[in-house]
Amino acid sequence: MATIIPLEQPLKRKNAPALDALTALVAEDVAAVNQLIVQRMESRVQMIPRLAGHIIASGGKRLRPVLTLASALLCGYQGQRHRKLAASVEFIHTATLLHDDVVDASDLRRGNPSANALFGNEASVLVGDFLFSRAFELMVEDGSIDVLRVLSHASAVISEGEVLQLITTNDSATSEQAYLEVVRAKTAELFAAACRIGAIVAGRPASEEEALRTFGLNLGIAFQIVDDVLDYSAEQARLGKTVGDDFREGKVTLPVILAIHRGNEAERAFWKRALDESDQRDGDFSHAQDIIHRHNALRDAIDRARHYGAIARDSLGMFPDSPAKQALLNIVDFTIEREF
């Protein structure tokens, strides 16, 4: 296995509790959402809850549904509609993960065998479809056409982003702009929708819905950039997933793009061989990490993430201070400075 080099500027660990704090604020709702998730992945076809349960159980953070719950809290929402919608958001996310693993042919997800490795690609595709349909059934039960509009659009954009990512994979000439468009579509759009729904259920004015959309979108971009950084940096066990996945799959992420732009001919030839031609040899991942380190590409990628984090933070300016607001602001720091 490749050696793991530290980030140029060590990530702070103090912010890991930020997610716990946010989750604690909406603890009752989170418990209800978890129950809904278990109920709604039921099927007379036993393989469905077995496979869905596998990925949902290993799926840890529940960041997206928690964002829906916390956004609703921020908007002063008192009811329970946000629970079904948060479960719906998590189902869409889970369906995406299942299809992603098939597309990436990943054997591991967060350090555990991925669903496709355990149950086969076929079942992962189909159970993804099932969860996706269940997500829409939950929205239909809620009955809001506005929510359905936001989430059906987000879903279409996510698949566009995934296809776009497929096209940029194995293409070391991918621009930072093309990378950002992939990130925005495949990751940030669902964060944006998750947050926006909080304002919709609370019946808040369009300006607040828009503020939460901006918050989610920029938080999502920051989140994905940091995710891509972690794939070149943190210890596999701590990350909970195999470091170097993106490299092995030929994905052209921000650390690589920065390194390529700043590199010399020999380095560009290396990236071309390893990524474009998928010709990877022993020690290549280590070498990639060395090049990235030399160009400060991880540190500067994190700086890019901080830019989006700042936009996210500012977008909450119109909301009065509250524990929910503070927790959402802290989640931005957590996302950028996390080291798991």
Q: Which residues bind a second copy (CB under 8 A)?
A: 43-45, 47-48, 95-96, 99, 102-103, 120-123, 125-130, 132-134, 136-137, 139-140, 143, 145, 148-149, 152-153, 155-156, 158-160, 162-164, 166-167
If we measure between CA atoms, which residue out of 112, 199, 115, 189 comes closest to residue 158?
189
Whose Cβ is closer to a second copy: residue 166's or residue 318's?
166
**CB of 155 vs a second copy, minimal distance in Å:** 4
Whose Cβ is closer to a second copy: residue 128's or residue 220's?
128
Whose Cβ is closer to a second copy: residue 119's or residue 270's?
119
d(CA 109, CA 236): 11
**CB of 237 vs a second copy, minimal distance in Å:** 29
If we measure between CA atoms, which residue out of 46, 147, 44, 134 comes closest to residue 87?
134
The SS3 of residue 108 is: strand
DSSP symbol at 203: T
Whose Cβ is closer to a second copy: residue 150's or residue 292's?
150
Contact between residue 299 and residue 7 where contact means Cβ atoms under 8 Å apart:
yes
DSSP symbol at 106: -
Whose Cβ is closer to a second copy: residue 29's or residue 209's?
209
Q: Which residue carries 């799926």 as its tokens?
A: 59
**CB of 227 vs a second copy, minimal distance in Å:** 19
Whose Cβ is closer to a second copy: residue 125's or residue 311's?
125
**CB of 154 vs a second copy, minimal distance in Å:** 8
The SS3 of residue 109 is: strand
Contact between residue 241 and residue 108 where contact means Cβ atoms under 8 Å apart:
yes
Residues in the chain: 340
**CB of 139 vs a second copy, minimal distance in Å:** 8
**CB of 133 vs a second copy, minimal distance in Å:** 4
H helices, E strands: number in the chain: 18, 2
Q: Looking at this protein, which amino acid is placed at residue 98?
A: L
**CB of 318 vs a second copy, minimal distance in Å:** 28
Contact between residue 5 and residue 288 where contact means Cβ atoms under 8 Å apart:
no
C-alpha triplet 132, 227, 97: angle, nearest 5°: 20
d(CA 76, CA 27): 16
Whose Cβ is closer to a second copy: residue 62's or residue 134's?
134
Whose Cβ is closer to a second copy: residue 21's or residue 126's?
126
Q: Which residue carries 């996706």 as its tokens?
A: 132
Biggest distance spanned by C-alpha atoms of the chain: 60
Please give the structure tokens belonging to residue 53. Answer: 């349960």
The SS3 of residue 97 is: helix
Whose Cβ is closer to a second copy: residue 108's or residue 126's?
126
**CB of 101 vs a second copy, minimal distance in Å:** 10
Element (H, E) at 113: strand 112-113
